[in-house]
Chain A
Amino acid sequence: MNFDYDSEQNDLREAVRGLLARAYSDSEQRRGVVKADPGFDEKTWSRLAEMGLLGLPFAEDDGGMGAGPVEVAIVAEEIGRVLAPEPFIETVVLAGGLVSAVGTAEQRAEILGGISEGSTIAVFAHAEPRTRWAATAREVTATQSGDGWTLTGVKEPVPSGARADLLVVSAAVDGGTGLYLVQGDAAGLTRTAYRTHDGTRAANVRFDGTPAQQLGEGGDQTAAIERALAEARIAYGHEAIGAMDTALRTTADYLKTRKQFGVTLNKFQALTFRAADMYVSLELARSVALWASMVQDAGGDVVAAADRARLQVSRAGRHIGEEAIQLHGGIGVTAEYSVGHYTSRLIAIDHLLGDGDWAAARLAAKVADYETVDPLGAPYAG
C-alpha cells in the first residue's frame, strides 16, 4: 500500500506540466483562448496528441498507450492546475472510455486510433434537459431502420457538443439504454453551441431521425455507462484537485503581498485560519481522489469509490472556491484576475456528472448495509 507516484509517473507529470505551462502560462492566455470557438486551443490539442496523452488509457492494439487510471489522473490534475480548457476527460475518458469498453474491434481501432492521433474529437452526448445525472437515457430514442438505426430527441448540455467530430449518444431502446455513434455531419443533426460560465462550450444537440451506428453488440448498456461515468467522475475529481491546489496557492500568495491597514493580509489571523481550513479540505479530498484511482487500478468497485470521491471533492471544491474569492476580496470576482475562474470551473465540474448532495444521497441509501468502511478491503480492493 502506498500513495506515491513511481519515477515514470513523476516524469509524465513533469512533461504534462511543462506542456501546459507553455500553453497557459497565465490567466490572460487562457482568457484569449476561451473567447473564440471552439473554446480551446487546437494546437494544444495536437501537442497533447503528440505526447501520447490522448491515447493514454486505450489498449495498444487499439492505437493507445495502455496506461492506467493513475496516469489519466496525473494528466487531469495538471489540466486543473492551469484550467486548460481542452476536452481531455470528455473525449478520452468518457467517449473514448465507452468505445473502449463497449465497441467492436473495428470501432475501437478506428475511433480510438483517431482520438489518440488527435484527429477525432469525440464526446458523450448523454445529459438530457429534464433529467439529472442518471446512467440511463429517456428523451432520445433509438429506432432500428434497415441495417442501421435512427435517433430522435434532444441532448443538452453536451460539453464540446458542437465541435465534436463524433458523438457517442445514449438512447432509450427496448426498455433499456443503448449506445450509438453519430457523425458530426450526419443528416438530421442540429447543434447549437453556447459558452458556459467556465469558458468552455456546450451545445443543445437535436436528433431528428438522425442516422446512427450501434456501438458494440447492442443490448442494455446502463452498466457500462454507469462505469464510464464513475471513471470520469474520478478524473474530474483530479482536475478539481489541481484547480483547488492553484486556487489555494494563489490565495496564500495574495495574502502575503496585499496590504491593508499598513500591513500584509497574512497578519490577520481571521484570514490565515481560513486559508488553513482550505488546506485541510484540499488534502482530505486529494487522499480520496488518489484512492479512487487506485481502486480503479486494482479492479475494485469503481462506482462506489467514485461516489466517495465525488462527495469529498465536491464539498472541498465549494469550500475552497468560495473562500478563495472571499479572501481575495473584490478582485476575486473580476474576470481579469485568475482566481474566480477557478471557482467557476470547480462549480462546473460539480454539475457535470453529479454534485456533492447527489453523491451523499447515493451513499446514504447504502449506509445501513455494512458496519464499517475498510478502504483497503472489499468492495474496493478488487
Chain B
Amino acid sequence: MRLQLSPELEAFREEMRTFFTTQVPQEIRDHVAAHRELEKDDYIRAQRALNAAGLAVPHWPVEWGGKDWTPLQRHIWREEMQLACVPEPLAFNTSMIGPVLAAFGNQEQKERFLAKTANLDIWWCQGFSEPDAGSDLASLRTTAVRDGDDWVVNGQKTWTTLGQYADWIFCLVRTDPGAEKKQRGISMLVFPMDSPGVTLRPIELIDGGFEVNEVFFEDVRVPAENLIGEENRGWDYAKFLLGNERVGIARVGASKRMLAQAKQHAQEITVDGRPLADDPFMARRIAEIENELVALELTALRVVANSADGKPHPASSVLKLRGSELQQAATELMLDIAGPLSLASFADGGSDVPDWARAATPHYLNYRKVSIYGGSNEVQRTIIAGSILGL
C-alpha cells in the first residue's frame, strides 16, 4: 500500500492540469463553471483542442489515436478535466460508438469513421431507449428488415441526447423477431440523421431545456454495409458499450468543483449580516458531503489502481450509485444556498440575482437524470445484490 503518486504520475497530473487550464478556451470553461448550456460549437471547439493534443480518445486502441494509458492515468486525465471545467469529449463518440467500432467494426468502417469520430467531425447520437424499453432495453421494438442491399428501419427511439446536433445515429434494431431469447435478435446499425424517413422531435425537460429527443423512423433505408459487427449480435456490442459508459460515471472531479463553488457562495450569501458559511448547520452539511466525496474518490482510486487480472473490481459497482447521489447532493446544496434567489431561474436582464443562483434550480432539476441514465440506481442495486452479494 502506498499513498503518494509516483513522481512520473505526479508529473503526468501536472501536465494534464496545465493543458486543461491553458489550452482549452477560457470562455468555454467559464460556461461549464456557471452551468450554462453549451452551444454545439463549444463542444466541437473543446473536443478539437483535446484531439489536436491527442487527449480526446486516450482509451482507444493506439492505432486509432489511443494512448495505452493505465486505468489510473485515465482516471487522472478525467478528474483533472472535470476540475478544470473542460467539457468532456462527447461520450456518444468517444466512450460509446468509437470503442465499439474499434472493437467490432470492419476495417472499412474503422477508416471511414474513427478519425472523424475522435475529432467530432461526425456528431453521433444514441438510438437505444424506446418508450417501452428503458431499463429493460432488450424489449426494444424498432425493426430492421432486409430488402435487397438495404435494411429498412421502422420504429421509435427516445431520450436521444443532443440528437438535434447529431450527424449520425447508432441504433439498436430488432432483426430477428423470432429469436428464442429477445437479446439474440438485435443488431446495431449506423446511419445519417438526415436520411429520408428520420424525424426528430425535441422533448422539453423540467429545467426548461431541450437536451433529449424522440426520433421516429419511417421506412428509413440503411445500406447493408452500415451494419456494425455481425447480424443479431447487437446486444453484445450494447453491453460492451454500456460497460464503457459506466467508466468515469462517478464524476468525482465535477462534484468536487461544485462543492468548492457552493462553499464560495455560502460565504457570499449573508444571514443577518453574517455569512451563511458560518452557520454550523450549513458547515456540517458541507463537511458531510465533502467527506462522502473523499470516500468516493478513494474508492475510485482503489478500483483504478488495482492491478488485478482484468476482472472488474467489485467496488466499482458503487461508483455509479454513490457518484450520482453525490452529484445530486451537490446540486441540492447549491439550490439551498441560493435559497429565495433560486426562484429567479429564468431571469434575463434587469435582475440582481447572480448567474449561479439563477442556474441552481434548473441544474438541480436537470440532475435528477443522473440516477436514472447509464443503468438506473435501482439497476445498480440489483447488480450489487445479485453479482456481489449473491442474493
Known: A1-B305, A272-B389, A276-B381. A376 touches B294 (CB 8 A): no
Shortest beta-carbon distance, B374 to chain A, in Å?
Answer: 16
The interface residues of chain A lying within 8 Å CB-to-CB of B271 are none
**B298 interface hit (Cβ, 8 Å):** yes
Q: Are A364 and B2 in contact (CB under 8 A)?
A: no
Complex CA–CA separation, A287 to B252 (angstroms):
15
The interface residues of chain A lying within 8 Å CB-to-CB of B294 are 288, 308, 312, 373, 375
Q: Please report which residues of chain A, range 337-378, place their CB below 8 angstroms from some CB of chain B when the two chains form the complex.
A: 360-361, 363-365, 367-368, 371-373, 375-376
The interface residues of chain B lying within 8 Å CB-to-CB of A285 are 295
Report the interface size for chain A: residues with CB under 8 A from the other chain.
53
Shortest beta-carbon distance, B71 to chain A, in Å?
Answer: 11
The interface residues of chain B lying within 8 Å CB-to-CB of A283 are 299, 314-315, 318
Q: Are B291 and A3 in contact (CB under 8 A)?
A: no
The interface residues of chain A lying within 8 Å CB-to-CB of B381 are 272-273, 276-277
Q: Are B3 and A300 in contact (CB under 8 A)?
A: yes
Residue from the set B295, B381, B388 with the largest chain A CB neighbour count within 10 Å: B295
Shortest beta-carbon distance, A114 to chain B, in Å?
Answer: 30
A 285-300 binary contact with B (CB < 8 Å = 1; else 0): 1111011011101101
Q: Are A252 and B389 in contact (CB under 8 A)?
A: yes
Q: Please report which residues of chain A, range 281-339, place their CB below 8 angstroms from some CB of chain B when the two chains form the complex.
A: 283-288, 290-291, 293-295, 297-298, 300, 308, 311-312
Known: A290-B302, A295-B3. A280 touches B384 (CB 8 A): yes
Q: Are B260 and A371 in contact (CB under 8 A)?
A: yes
Q: Are B286 and A70 in contact (CB under 8 A)?
A: no
Known: A252-B390, A255-B391, A288-B295. A376 touches B318 (CB 8 A): no
A313 nearest in chain B by CB position: B295
**B214 interface hit (Cβ, 8 Å):** no
**B301 interface hit (Cβ, 8 Å):** yes
Q: Are B288 and A1 in contact (CB under 8 A)?
A: no
Complex CA–CA separation, A311 to B315 (angstroms):
20
A278 nearest in chain B by CB position: B389
The interface residues of chain A lying within 8 Å CB-to-CB of B256 are 372-373
Complex CA–CA separation, A127 to B75 (angstroms):
44
Known: A70-B1, A252-B390, A256-B391. A287 touches B315 (CB 8 A): yes
A 248-281 binary contact with B (CB < 8 Å = 1; else 0): 1000100110000000001001001101110110
The interface residues of chain A lying within 8 Å CB-to-CB of B6 are 1
The interface residues of chain A lying within 8 Å CB-to-CB of B315 are 283, 286-287
The interface residues of chain A lying within 8 Å CB-to-CB of B23 are none
Residue from the set B263, B267, B388, B391 with the largest chain A CB neighbour count within 10 Å: B391
Q: Are A380 and B295 in contact (CB under 8 A)?
A: no
Shortest beta-carbon distance, B319 to chain A, in Å?
Answer: 10
The interface residues of chain B lying within 8 Å CB-to-CB of A368 are 263, 267, 277, 283
B302 nearest in chain A by CB position: A3
B 270-307 binary contact with A (CB < 8 Å = 1; else 0): 00000001001001101110111111111101100111
**B74 interface hit (Cβ, 8 Å):** no
Across the interface, B1 reaches (CB within 8 A) one of A3, A275, A363, namely: A3
A73 nearest in chain B by CB position: B1
Complex CA–CA separation, A287 to B293 (angstroms):
11
A 1-43 binary contact with B (CB < 8 Å = 1; else 0): 1111110010000000000000000000000000000000000
The interface residues of chain B lying within 8 Å CB-to-CB of A252 are 389-391
Q: Are B391 and A1 in contact (CB under 8 A)?
A: no
The interface residues of chain B lying within 8 Å CB-to-CB of A288 are 291, 294-295, 298
Shortest beta-carbon distance, B288 to chain A, in Å?
Answer: 6
Q: Are B263 and A287 in contact (CB under 8 A)?
A: no
Q: Are B1 and A360 in contact (CB under 8 A)?
A: no
Q: Are B290 and A284 in contact (CB under 8 A)?
A: no
Known: A266-B391, A312-B295. A373 touches B290 (CB 8 A): yes
The interface residues of chain B lying within 8 Å CB-to-CB of A269 are 382
The interface residues of chain A lying within 8 Å CB-to-CB of B380 are 276
Shortest beta-carbon distance, A351 to chain B, in Å?
Answer: 19
B385 nearest in chain A by CB position: A272
**A381 interface hit (Cβ, 8 Å):** yes
Q: Please report which residues of chain B, range 370-391, place their CB below 8 angstroms from some CB of chain A when the two chains form the complex.
A: 378, 380-382, 384-386, 388-391
Shortest beta-carbon distance, B278 to chain A, in Å?
Answer: 8
Shortest beta-carbon distance, A286 to chain B, in Å?
Answer: 8
Q: Are A372 and B291 in contact (CB under 8 A)?
A: no
Q: Are A360 and B389 in contact (CB under 8 A)?
A: no
**B35 interface hit (Cβ, 8 Å):** no
B381 nearest in chain A by CB position: A276
The interface residues of chain B lying within 8 Å CB-to-CB of A248 are 389
The interface residues of chain B lying within 8 Å CB-to-CB of A361 are 280, 284
Q: Are A376 and B299 in contact (CB under 8 A)?
A: no
Q: Which 7 A-B pairs have the closest CB atoms?
A: A272-B385, A287-B298, A364-B283, A276-B384, A294-B3, A284-B295, A276-B381
Q: Taking A297-B3, A363-B287 as given, write out 10 further A-B residue pairs in contact, using a Cβ cutoff of 8 Å, ordered by the A residue number.
A: A3-B305, A4-B305, A272-B391, A273-B381, A279-B388, A287-B298, A293-B1, A295-B3, A311-B291, A361-B280
20 pairs, A vs B, C-beta closer than 8 Å: A1-B5, A1-B72, A3-B302, A6-B1, A252-B390, A255-B391, A256-B390, A272-B386, A273-B378, A273-B385, A276-B389, A294-B3, A295-B3, A297-B1, A298-B2, A363-B291, A364-B283, A364-B286, A373-B290, A376-B301
